[in-house]
């Protein structure tokens, strides 16, 4: 999924800087993301985690208690879903995620569904069509520079 996005970015109208971080041990306290070198994150304005189970969820908080981002950031992805012909992408609450750690660093973050079920078990599955829908969502966000536009609007407001 990430390789597909990187290939897409090269030919898109995306105007920002994209950083990719692969982390480990998300399922045991987000140990990998907690140990990212803070200098790597210094100029990061927003984060997107792609490790949510199910379909078309935009997770914006941990259990509805600890926010990962403001509603405006989550709405970017709802709007992108509608633009891409998938209007049922919706903000929701979720569990522990690297998105929570990025939020602790002061970086607004979401965690997007990628289509897996029964995570961390021998019965884990991945619905590749759902994964491709998440790719389409992200391509829409990047092609339309939606994150950059939201950050500019926040600075003006």
- Domains annotated on the chain, with CATH: 2-156 (3.40.630.10)
Give me the pLDDT at residue 13, please. 93
pLDDT for the residue 150: 67
124-133: long-range contacts, CB 8 A cutoff, minimum separation 24: 127/55, 130/55, 130/56, 131/1, 133/55, 133/56, 133/86
Residue 151, pLDDT score: 62
pLDDT at residue number 62: 93
Q: What pLDDT sits at residue 137?
A: 98
Integer Cα distance of 32 and 118 in angstroms:
22
Q: Are 91 and 120 in contact (CB under 8 A)?
A: no
Q: Across the 157 residues of the chain, what is the mean pLDDT of every consecutive 10-residue run? A: 93 90 71 78 91 93 94 96 97 90 92 90 92 97 87 54
Would you state the pLDDT for residue 59?
97
């Amino acid at each position: 999924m990430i390789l597909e996005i990187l290939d897409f970015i090269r030919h898109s109208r995306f105007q920002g800087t994209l950083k990719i971080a692969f982390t480990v041990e998300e399922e045991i306290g987000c140990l990998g993301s907690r140990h990212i070198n803070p200098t790597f994150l210094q100029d990061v304005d927003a984060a997107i985690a792609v490790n949510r189970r199910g379909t078309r969820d935009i997770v914006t908080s941990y259990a509805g208690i600890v926010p990962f981002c403001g509603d405006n950031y989550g709405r970017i992805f709802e709007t992108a879903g509608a633009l891409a012909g998938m209007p049922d992408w919706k903000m929701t609450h979720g569990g522990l995620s690297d998105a929570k750690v990025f939020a602790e660093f002061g970086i607004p973050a979401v965690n997007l569904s990628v289509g897996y079920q029964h995570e961390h078990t021998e019965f884990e599955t991945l619905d590749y069509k759902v994964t491709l829908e998440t790719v389409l969502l992200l391509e829409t966000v990047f092609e339309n520079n939606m994150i950059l536009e939201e950050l500019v609007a926040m600075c003006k407001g």
